[in-house]
Chains A and B, each alone.
Chain A
Amino acid sequence: MPTASALSPEVLAKYQPVIGLEVHVQLLTKTKAFCGCVNLYGGEPNTHVCPVCLGLPGALPVLNEQAVEFAVLTGAALNCKINPVSIFARKNYFYPDSPKGYQISQYDKPTCEHGYLDIPDGNGGLKRIGITRAHMEEDAGKSIHDGFPDSVTRSYIDLNRCGTPLIEIVSEPDIRSPQEAFDYLTKLKEILLYAGVSDCNMEEGSLRCDANVSVMLKGADKFGTKAEVKNVNSFRFIRSALEYEIERQVEILESGGKVVQETRLYNSAEGVTYSMRSKEQAHDYRYFPEPDLPPLLISEEWKNKILKGLPELPEAKRTRLIAEYGITEKDAETLTASASFADQFEAAAKASKSPKRVAALITSELTGRLNAAGLELEQSPVSMKGLAMAADLAESGELSSKMLKQLLDISFEKGEDFPVVYEREKPQQISDTSVIEKMIDEVIAANPKQVEQFKGGKTTVSAFFVGQVMRLSKGQANPALLNELVIKKLSE
């Protein structure tokens, strides 16, 4: 990874980075923010357009109600206050992919304000990151500068994306390290996915991130001059982009210079940030209230109706799963990676006598096999019902863990559900006491030393005998019965 310099860790440690993130999220509404065009990624260029999103003379915006609902859900999921009155404003700037010459956004009266989300503090606790605001706006189109035969002399414009509803979520400058920034984005994405307002697909640009970064000497009471780093658009790069920028600023300060307030662009291929424009070149966006849209009024009644659609959020779900099913915190963390994952677990847990074992099976057996096969949980050959059955068989001791693993392997190999495989492959289990006792006698006779150890008080050695007998029975001995009989025989 490129770094700005070879700064020693001691020098870096003198400084405190201060980071605030601005995250743009595309909303999963059926239609665009201010017109009836379909809101869909891709498509033949300039086919999802109409006079309104093309900014044709005389066309007017009309606000999409579903975009408001998603904004309210987002605000609520981020613990924001939902303002009963919010005002759309025009942000004026010229660019070919902004057909009106202004973006409809919100300025001094956004829809959502004063929220927060919690990230891990690294010591097993939580750190609260403030959210200044979450406001509604529209996306621009795309300028395409390469890929055409005449790209050297010409740029092309695709306005399909133009008018896609966005929420811009602005954090307080509460983030203190690249890792915290990463954690913040991770949590944010998780919450937005749970709320169902966005697919948060960074590759397709439905979640985009800009970072305001400054550094100050540790203990200082005033923030340093910040630079805005644009285009930090991947979870893979967020940490390295911020680390680069922090080191760049520290180096400037260490060599007696001053950080300039400016906008910088992150180049992920090179791993560096480049100056885009200085403060002097900064746009004056000439915000003013959008006269084509009346103030957005969100009554208490409408808000409450919208909030009925807010699903259980990850933190609440984890707490509930732990309480309801007695699973471990670690399993709860894994099982709530997505809402549908958690739902699948709950379906299996409800069908099983041992939810705890279901959780363990999913986290220890199922996810590994899914990953290896490159499958999503939804594509698992083992259904949740099948998993519940497996958990119950394991719990009752009818199935050894080794056997269980084998059966699951067969399931994945043949693409068959667990019950099918079990019915066909289930071991002709030996539950005949005399047969098992005979095998135990054999093993005891062959291992006098271990018998001595057991009699000497080292009772754990019984597991050795269980294992040996199981091997002798080709894994077919009833494990529960075997355990019982081994102890009995050794204690004789």
Chain B
Amino acid sequence: MNLETLSIDQARAALTSGETTATALAEAHYERIAQKDDEINSYLSLAKDRALAQAAKIDALLKAGDPLPPLAGIPLGIKDVLTMVGSPATAGSKILEGYHPPYDCTAVAKLEAAGAVLLGKLNCDEFAMGSSNENSAYGPVHNPRALDRVPGGSSGGSAAAVAAGFCVASLGTDTGGSIRQPAAFCGVTGLLPTWGRVSRFGLIAFASSLDRIGPFTKNVKDAATLLGVMAGSDIMDATASHTPVNDYVAESQKPVAGLKIGVPEEYFGEGLDPEIRAAVEKSIADLKAAGCEIKKISLPHTRYAIPTYYVIATAEASSNLSRFDGVRFGLRDKSASTLTGMYRQTRDAGFGAEVKRRILLGTYALSAGYYDAYYKKAQQVRTLLTRDFLSAFNEVDAIVTPMTPTPAFKLGEKTDDPVAMYLADVYTVAASLAGICGVSVPCGNTKDGLPIGVQILGKHFEEGMALRVAQAVENSQP
């Protein structure tokens, strides 16, 4: 059994045919992690007790010949910003070292209720802030396709674990591209659901109005399967939508002939790696060959997306991260003699440089006298960016863009230049701000063998459409 390519369908077939058991499948993954994760550093903690107990339950069902839930025995990895009882939740930060959450994230609980086996918690940039996974307090993650390169971020561990065959699929989170960009860097599929499609309860917040939970998978159909399980309203999340949950698998498998595909000119400008351009244009040509109508469109406010994103995301982060104060959980600097001193020393010791930078930026943007110029203005631009997409979707069914301007860069290449790092988010943050859905799907490799991804964007709550176009791109790969 090739774990690197093992999909949900394949794993399920192997389980039902008796080729393997849920326990054996979990053990096989743990063995592979033990052998190979030292060089990749994707798992921060393993949840063997919980995983093997669940596997035993699934095996009992198999043995009894009882009906199997949709994800029966499927081994999954979970990004360490999501809570899971029995496992630490560090969010990649020292400030949460040793913290064990007392409750399950809704999305995680739904997957387990559907039979999934939760192997453990995956490395990420601290509080999901970063584009390279070099901001983790627990060391960087290495790209399984090229160990000297970054896996992308912030869900680098989640992308790498799927690419390396350390799980069949994983959960990540995406605030400004943290699922889509690492999926592209590692050559796996990543799904960004519409904001509100999947409950955020149990997601350690970075920027609440942007944060989303989504899957990394080995193919588009698996992403549709996982979304179907996780999507829906939640009494614990007032922002989780009541919009009906569709049959995403069925929708993703529909033919694409006759669909209108938008290609925004703003996403093909300066700075785009020529090999990526060629691969994305090839995918567009493949879609045309499959019967899609290709339309040039314009998203005129695109160039404001990065500054807008970094104002809103950091503003919300500055508030969301206030609760890490050393009072109730996680790290506390006990040497301080005053309350303020305890706050300062704890947060100074517990947060990494990038997190501190963003807290400072966000605090500034919300300060009296600056609010109107920064936060309020950014919210206005956000509305314009959203309108860009909404008017485009009046004409097209989906939008196709490059996923990243460059392939995975080398570890350490951009760590001294935060602005260069922020600019790597150029193709991801507009969709984040607009709240729309998208899929990052592999569309080839550079001549050096680095994966290339293409981004398929869909209207709010039309994940089925985005997955359908992504499936067509996947089908056209050799």
Interface residues of A, Cβ cutoff 8 Å to B: 51-52, 54-63, 90, 92, 94, 96, 99-102, 157, 284, 286-288, 291-294
Contact = CB atoms under 8 A, between A and B. Distances in A.
A57 B366 contact: no
B391 interface: no
Interface stretch (B8-16, B49-57, B65-73, B230-238): B230-238
Interface majority SS (helix, strand, loop, mixed), chain B: loop
Contacts of B208: 291-292
A401 B441 CA distance: 96
Contact of A57 (B89, B237, B315, B367): B89
A90 B238 contact: no
Q: Which of B89, B315, B319 has the most CB of A within 10 A?
A: B319
B235 A62 contact: yes
B319 A60 contact: no
A288 B363 CA distance: 11
Contact of B238 (A100, A101, A294): A294
Nearest to A35: B236
A288 B327 contact: no
B366 A58 contact: no
| B contact residues, range | 35 or more
B83 A57 contact: yes
Interface string B347-386: 0000000000000000100111001000100000000000
B101 A57 contact: yes
A291 B317 CA distance: 11
27 contacts: A54-B328, A57-B83, A57-B91, A57-B99, A57-B323, A57-B329, A58-B82, A58-B83, A58-B103, A58-B204, A59-B202, A60-B201, A60-B238, A62-B235, A62-B237, A90-B319, A92-B318, A96-B325, A99-B328, A100-B322, A101-B319, A284-B368, A287-B366, A288-B371, A288-B375, A292-B238, A294-B238
Contacts of B200: 60
B343 interface: yes
Interface string B217-256: 0000000000000000001111100000000000000000
Contact of B102 (A51, A60, A62, A102): A51
B316 interface: yes
Contacts of B64: none
Given A56-B102, A58-B105, A62-B236, A288 B323 contact: no
Contacts of B237: 60, 62
B431 to A, nearest CB: 17
Contacts of B263: none
Contact of A101 (B101, B203, B325): B325
Contacts of A94: 322, 325, 343
A184 B177 CA distance: 55
Q: Which of A56, A92, A102 has the most CB of B within 10 A?
A: A56
B209 interface: yes
A55 B327 CA distance: 11
B159 interface: no
Q: Which of B91, B99, B205, B207 has the most CB of A within 10 A?
A: B205
A291 B236 contact: no
Nearest to B210: A291
Nearest to B327: A96
A58 B328 contact: no
Contacts, number: 102
B435 to A, nearest CB: 12
Given A60-B238, A287-B366, A294-B239, 8 more contacts: A51-B103, A57-B83, A60-B201, A62-B238, A99-B327, A101-B319, A286-B363, A292-B238
Interface string B316-348: 101101111101110000000001000100000
Contacts of B99: 57
B96 interface: yes
A37 B324 CA distance: 23
A294 B236 CA distance: 13
A33 to B, nearest CB: 12
B238 A288 contact: no
Contact of B327 (A57, A157, A284, A292): A157
A57 to B, nearest CB: 4
A284 B237 CA distance: 29
B366 A288 contact: yes
B323 A286 contact: no
A111 to B, nearest CB: 16
B311 to A, nearest CB: 11
Contact of A92 (B91, B209, B319, B328): B319
Given A58-B89, A99-B327, A288-B375, A63 B238 contact: yes
Interface in B69-120: 81-83, 89, 91, 96, 99, 101-103, 105
A145 B238 CA distance: 36
B367 A291 contact: no
A248 B343 CA distance: 36
Contacts of B343: 94
B96 A57 contact: yes
Interface in B185-212: 200-205, 207-209
